[in-house]
Amino acid sequence: MPVTMSEIKLPEVELNIYTPREPVEATIVENRLCTKESSPNFVRHVTFDISGTELEGHVQVGQSIGILPPGEDENGRPHKLRLYSVSSPTEGEDGQPHLISTTVKRTIEEFDNNELYLGVCSNYLADLQPGDKVRMTGPSGRRFLLPQNATDFNYVMFATGTGIAPYRGMIKELLKAGIENDIVLIFGCPYRTDLLYADYFEPLDEEHPNFHYLPHISREARRADGTKKYVQTCLWDAAELLDPLLEQENTLLYICGLKGMEAGIYRALGKKKLTQYLDIREPAVNKKPEDWDEKDLKRYVKPSARTFVEVY
């Protein structure tokens, strides 16, 4: 039986309690790998103690914190702030309001000239040990949030890479609130070794009939037609689950991860005529979704009020 749409009321949040000019000091209490098994990529779950700061009790799930790495760039200027999505629920890591966490991937790249690039802040954070101090800002973000009436909705969540971070906190929060509606988590990565927090999500999938964990691994097994599995192909690969869910008027869609992932999802939604999740404007409205070009996707195909996007 179709469910009518509840009003989407986002919570009021506090912003920029601490700024780059006036950051606060937080202490590392945990720094561990969160990949499924031995992986060539190093992704870590980092937990901070914010006891005695104004951040305690004022960071909403879905928001971000800022980290100021020490040192200067090649121009002699202080390194810039980097933002990281919070991966703990609003009540704090393990229900402790003085603890918040994030998910950090070490950025290690090799350029065409064989030079190695190391991400300044990601490697700084990944190196830290319990007891070490960091300079923190935030919180930031007022849109990529759960609604106040969160259990009124179904959720379809798309993630790539560390874009899974906010969903860890959101899903913990929704399940603790006793949600009876469905939650689908679609996580895309190149290899099985790149699965993040699988030790948490896999058991949840077995324990909760309304939680569905759908990892899509692009560089291993192919789809039946020989194409790669990407997060957007899940709309066809898991159509039996997703079609009726996405037709419900109380379903919300979340997209988080690497910039550009939203383009494939928008085209897929258009092809499946799920345009209630998009705000399509002229001239894109007169084109087939597969013909939407970069300009269309940047200017004329936007998320609707039922779609929340955080890409970087």
Active-site position among 85, 88, 101, 122:
85
Determine whether the annotation assigns residue 273 to a binding site: no
Q: Which of 158, 130, 124 is nearest to 252 (CA)?
A: 158
Whether 200 is a known active-site residue: answer: no
Determine whether the annotation assigns residue 162 to a binding site: yes
Active-site position among 18, 34, 64, 84:
84
Determine whether the annotation assigns residue 258 to a binding site: yes
Q: Which residues touch 309 (CB under 8 Å, ≥6 apart)?
A: 144, 254, 255, 256, 262, 303
Is 213:241 a contact under the CB 8 Å cutoff?
Answer: no
Determine whether the annotation assigns residue 85 to a binding site: yes
Whether 230 is a known active-site residue: answer: no
Whether 87 is a known active-site residue: answer: no
Whether 191 is a known active-site residue: answer: no
Whether 91 is a known active-site residue: answer: no
Determine whether the annotation assigns residue 219 to a binding site: yes
Active-site position among 93, 173, 262, 310:
310
Active-site position among 122, 256, 262, 277:
256
Determine whether the annotation assigns residue 51 to a binding site: no
Q: Binding site residues, as ranges? A: 85, 105, 162, 218-219, 228, 257-258
Residues with catalytic roles = 84-85, 256, 310, 312
Q: Binding site residues for NADP(+), as ranges? A: 85, 105, 162, 218-219, 228, 257-258
